[in-house]
Structure 1
Amino acid sequence: MSATVADCATAERSALVVYERALARATAGEDATLALRDVHGREHRVDAAGWCGSVRAGDGGLLDRCGGATLDVGCGPGRLTRALLAGGRPALGIDVSAAAVRLALARGALALRRDVFAAVPGQGRWEHLLLADGNVGIGGDPAALLRRCRDLLAPHGLLHAELEAPGAGSWAGTATLRDEGGGPAAPLRWAQVAADDLAPLARAAALVIRTTWTEAGRWFATMTPA
């Protein structure tokens, strides 16, 4: 392994530690606010408790669109995966965080510790994929992530992605993740995609935008292979 690859892997592990500590605090009912500083130096605050609850406002329309076998990419503690299973729909969550997968399993979700860019069960057969809670940013390269999701989908499959509001701006690259409760910031390859910037990314990934919608102040789009 080259020094550059090793350094990147170490940096990603540091960000994972920050994330997993926030999950632990959230499940304990403590403050779990994270600060993500983007490539432009702007800070975005996220409360990890929102990922650990049973439902978030705006989840309903997303879940209703998943009528078949669904892969929840970056499932975290398994909120959406569990809701789908509880509704009688087959679903699997994947996440790189071992702590997140343990929490998902503990709440009754089916989840595996997997990187979406590595081997994933059911490649090319998933009827639905979810990229919720900002997970369109995974890996810091939205075009590459969307191409990978297209490869995981069945030919008729649907990719449901959560986006930022139009005008919020898009960015990609090395951000930093910081625990507002203390500790140093950790570098993280991440991205943000605003709804009005999705079209060229979808085209580059050979995806077609079928519909967009908003619910509870959240923005979403559904795409399918071209």
Structure 2
Amino acid sequence: MTLQVTKIVGGYSQIPVLKEVTFDIKDGELVGLIGLNGAGKSTTINHIIGLLTPFKGQIKINGVTLAEDNEAYKKQIAYIPETPILYQELTLKEHLEMTMMAYDLDQDAAWKRAEKLLQIFRLDNKLDWFPANFSKGMKQKVMIVCAFITDSPLFIIDEPFLGLDPLAVHDLLDLINDQKAKGASILMSTHVLDTAQKYCDRFVLLHDGQVKTEGTLAELRQALPDAGESLDDIYMSMTKADQHE
């Protein structure tokens, strides 16, 4: 079991945003974190990556909590944020070198992975470019390359398709499938429900800071038999029902 989130209560102030959120991600599994804006997706992610500390509950990655071993916990996570975070004074090459140092990666092996990824995302001739030279989509590709050179056991990917061209979306999904085949676990937050339905193994549906339901698409259909067949139908049915309560 790569990631275990157990009864997390937390938020940004004394008023909790998350209300006993519980779910897990097994080895080699892609789980879609689905919810409307304000449902608690980003807050959940911020707790998992260690930017927020839960009021109650526990988060473990391969049996380790952040409190037990901060460095070992964080080195297991590769994170791709919704908005690219780059250092304006560093070139693309320097971003890659910094990532390799932060994760204590073997330089030769990491550069081999980096070179392949740079070619896939058509960045191999831009190693000396600074972030000011990149478009939003290119910045997102830099974040993707930095994450996937780590070969981490857990990938946290927040709204990855924003700003990416269709070819880059396809390339990213191929990378995700490759990492799954190697046994990595992936938590992906997205509003692109048709893509999530096609690629995710299971889903965690958040609403108002709570897990309303989770499972495979077949299990969601069984739990909500009148909602419809697609993930979009199920989610819209669930949110509309909540609005009428």
Q: Same fold, TM exceeding 0.5?
A: no
Structure with more of its chain in strand, by fraction: 1
Give TM-score, length-normalised by structure 2: 0.28
Greater RCO structure (CA 8 Å; 6+ sep): 2
Rg larger in structure? 2
Give TM-score, length-normalised by structure 1: 0.29
